[in-house]
Amino acid sequence: MIHYTCDRCHKKIDENIDLRYEVSIVTQVALDEPDASLQEDRDHLNEVDDLLERVDDEECERLCQELYQSRRYDLCANCFQQFTRNPLGADAQPQVEFSEN
C-alpha cells in the first residue's frame, strides 16, 4: 500500500480518513510573437526547421527544461485550503498553524 505524505506540512495522509489533493503546476515561458500572424506559414516553418537543425539534442533538452516545468504535489485537506487561498504564497500569512504530530 502506498503511503502519501503532504508535500507542504509533511503530515502523513491516511487515505482511509483524509482526503488527498493532487496539485499540478505547469510553468512555461510565454512567448509574445506580435509579427507571427503577418508571416507566411511556410516561411515560419522554415525558420523553425533551421533553428531545430542548429540546436543539438543536449542544448534542446536543457532549453526545454528551462522553458517548461511540470510539478505535482500531494496536499492534505488543510494545506490544500491554504493553497487555494494563496496559491503563490504571496504576502505574509497572518495565521500559520502547525499541527503537532
Which region among 17-25, 29-37, 51-59, 77-85 touches Zn ion (by CB under 5 A)? 77-85
Would you list the DSSP string of 54-93? HS-HHHHHHHHHHHEEEEEEEEEHHHHHHHHH-TT--S--
* Residue 76: how many other CB atoms lie within 10 Å: 24
Q: Is 13 in the site for Zn ion (CB under 5 A)?
A: no
Per CB under 5 A, the list member of 1, 4, 5, 9 interacting with Zn ion is: 9
CB 8, min distance to Zn ion, A: 5
Footprint on this chain of Zn ion (rule: CB under 5 A): 6, 8-9, 11, 76, 79
